[in-house]
Every structure is written in C-alpha cells, then in structure tokens.
Amino acid sequence: MNVGYVYDEVYLKHETGYHPENAQRLEAIMAHLEETRCIEHLIPVKPRPATVRELTYVHQASYVSRIQEAALKGGGWLDADTVMSPDSYDAALYAAGGAIEATDAVISGRVNSAFALVRPPGHHATALAAMGFCLFNNIAIAAWHALKEYKLGKVAIIDFDVHHGNGTQEAFYSHPQVLYVSTHQYPHYPGTGTIGETGSGPAEGSKVNIPLPSGSGDDEYRQAFEQIIVPATRRFRPELILVSAGYDPHWKDRLAMMEVSTAGFAEMVRYIKSLADELCDGKIVMTLEGGYNLKALATSVKATFDVLLGNADIEDPLGQPERRWASPDITDLLRTIKERHKIA
C-alpha cells in the first residue's frame, strides 16, 4: 500500500504567534511521525506553489491580489480570527499547491492515497474572503484541479472538521459533479451547514450536511457514517474521494465541544478507505484542516496514516473522553437527513 504525504518547512513560515493555528501543529505532527517511525513507511510528495490560474478555480483574481498585497505590507489581521505574516502568501500558495500535487500523485497512480500536511488550512475561505484561519481553499482547489485537468466526472469531498466548510460548499453549491458531505458541531462557527443546505439547481441533493449537537462522540459519528455518509457516497459513485481532515472534534480539543477519540478518527478513516476501495480504486486525497490540541492532533494524524497503510493496530494514548456532556440522541436528526436526501 503506497501512501504519500506532503510536507515542507515553508508551511512553518506562516507565522501566527500565539494564535491556535500555529506552526507548532505541524511540528508536533512531524515529530510524532518520526518518533514512531511511521514516516519511514510513507512516500514524500513534493509540493509546489499553486498558480494564480489554479487559485482562480475557486477565488476571484482580485482576492488573490489582496492576499499578496497584505503579505507585502507585512501581514496583519484579515478578520477577527485570521492573521497573516509577510510569508503567509507563499505558505498559502504552497498549501494549495501541496493539495494539487497530492491529487496528481494519487490520480497518476504514484501512490494509492496521500495526505497533504499543509497550513494555512482552507475550507472556510470563500471566493472573496479569508475567514476561520483560512486563506485559500486547498481542498476545493484540488477538487477543481481533478475535474478540469483530469476530466473526472464525479468527485466526493468528505469533511469531518468540527466546523462546517462553508467555503468548500459555496465553491460547488450549484455543481452536481461534486458531492460535499460535512459532519460538524452545530450551532458553531461559522453558523452554516444546516440540513436544508442541499445544493441548488442541478446540484440539488449533492450537498449533505450533518449538523451534530455538542457532546457527539465516536458512537454518534459512527451512526452518521453508517446511516448517511456511506450510502450517500455509494449512490454518488465518485472517481476520487477528497477529505477535509480536521481533528478538532477530539475530546481534548477545547476550541469545540465534541467527544471524538483518536480511535474514533481511525474508524472514520476506515469507512472512507472502504468506500474508496469499493468505488474508486482506493483513491483518497486528504488535506489538513483543524486540530489544536497538539498531542490529540499528532496521534490522530498518525492513526489516519496507520489506517491508510493497512495497519490493524491503532495507538490511542489519550483514550476515551472524560465526558463533559451526556451523549446526545441523534436518531431524529439522522432520520430527517435520510428523508430529505431519500436515503433508505
């Protein structure tokens, strides 16, 4: 099983100070992969900067220019959550380009699957706005690259970050070639991702939102995958599965209020891998989104690689959650989603 990874020190140059989305995230991941010798089983995929043409698959050219100009002026705050440094534009180019290169490596068959360990993250960035720590929408750019450059007919994006990927959904809201499925805490930032957001025009029904209540953990995510994500993806029959991999639903992550364990993330990835093996010759491209507790993030990324590599044993040093909330009953929520999307 050939599994690729994208990483470059350019991603550390997106300097954000004491911001929760900081360079220590990638440093912790890479240190853990090296300490556990997992990295010895992975194939490096070299990133490159995305071109302006590739960025404008998703973003307006005027927005790309604004981000470049902000970096040239020394960076600063773009909104209440999103900050730049002088090197952030270059890092963001390489983040989008890293997702593209991972996609190239998988579609060409150089690797079976790949994980782009990049920053800044991307799934909140819209055509005209940076938000939610994100500058360019890496996963959406990679999806458009697959559709345009490889002429794929259908691509699925599965987003398990704790926040709804509003920018990704927006990029494909009227495009039936892309299935977008999101599990996210609701209500929570950015406030989007209701059950009723299902796509428009010919894309109606191709956007599937699973707004989970606070306190959802491994069991609730398992139900969401088994009852919604697996059947919806099977029905869509994608030629490639992309994943916005956010590890902030982890119970140790204090930017949200979910109760997922490291083992729970491994189980999600098993579902995704099984779908990819069944539907698209195992082709999976993952890009890093959130995850702000360093140990939870590092161990969960390592568990993800273990699943992609076919390793049965998953290390979960943090164990099950020290429950802050009772487990919610999501029976009615899932029933409503199934009815809306006509999932048996």
What is the per-residue pLDDT for 324? 76
CA dist., res. 336 & res. 273, Å (int): 26
What is the per-residue pLDDT for 83? 98
CA dist., res. 195 & res. 234, Å (int): 20
What is the per-residue pLDDT for 60? 98
| Average per-residue pLDDT for the chain | 97
Model confidence pLDDT, tens digit, residues 24-57: 999 999 999 999 999 999 999 999 999 999 999 9
pLDDT class for 300, splitting at 50, 70, 90?
very high
Torsion angle, alpha carbons of 273, 161, 198, 82, to 10: -140
**Residue 323 reports pLDDT greater than 80:** no
CA dist., res. 45 & res. 214, Å (int): 37
Choose, from 14, 59, 123, 124, the residue flagged as catalytic: 124
**Residue 92 reports pLDDT greater than 80:** yes
Strand partners, 211: 184
User: What is the domain partition of the chain in residue ranges?
Assistant: 3-341
- Determine whether 124 is an active site residue: yes
What is the per-residue pLDDT for 325? 76
What is the per-residue pLDDT for 1? 82
**What's the average model confidence in pLDDT over 211-240?**
98
**Structural fold of domain 3-341:** Arginase; Chain A (3.40.800)
Q: Are 144 and 100 in contact (CB under 8 A)?
A: no
What is the per-residue pLDDT for 326? 82
Q: Which of 195, 165, 163, 191 is nearest to 20 (CA)?
A: 163
**What's the average model confidence in pLDDT over 126-153?**
98
